[in-house]
Amino acid sequence: MILRGPEIRDMVRRAGGLTEDVKEALRREFPGGFDRAMEVAFKGGVRRILFKPSRRIVWIVKGRSGEYQVMPEAPFCDCNDFYFRVIGGEKPICYHILAQAISEALGLFEEVELGDSEYEGIVGKSLPKPRPPEEGF
């Protein structure tokens, strides 16, 4: 069984936290990412941005090279590891998604509230700006 963000979150919650059995299972499932995800989660590297009044949520996770947007229900992360290894089938999820799931389950995230007018600036920040069309096209 491949564990995704919501399944990991629910597993940790059902166990009442990160028990030794849960840690062992996650370390087995994610040998290259579990320790890094734990470090990020326990050092405050996860933020949940709540936009009001819509109540949309965006998760931001600190990584080695910057901050990444995580959509746990998809699951999706905008890091290079996700694009090259997760989509390529080498691994089920990146450590950012794992860190988000652990943080959400344990309440180890910073909550930030912003107005809906700020949503596009946060979500669209990593997207390249479209180039103006060339003449003749």
Cβ 126 vs Cβ 61: under 8 Å: no
Average pLDDT over the chain, rounded to an integer: 89
Peptide bond connecting 53 to the previous residue in cis, omega within 30 degrees of 0: yes
- Give the confidence band of 131 by pLDDT, cuts at 50, 70, 90: low
Number of CB atoms found within 10 A of residue 38's CB: 18
Compute φ and ψ for 70, nearest 5 degrees. Answer: -120, 135
Q: How many CB atoms lie within 10 A of CB 1?
A: 6
Provide the residue ranges of all domains of the chain, joining segments of one domain with +: 5-125
Nearest Cα to 67, choosing from 35, 108, 99, 111?
99
Residue 4: is its pLDDT beyond 80? no
pTM surpassing 0.75? yes
What angle is formed at CA 62 by the lines to CA 113 and CA 27, rounded to 5 degrees?
120
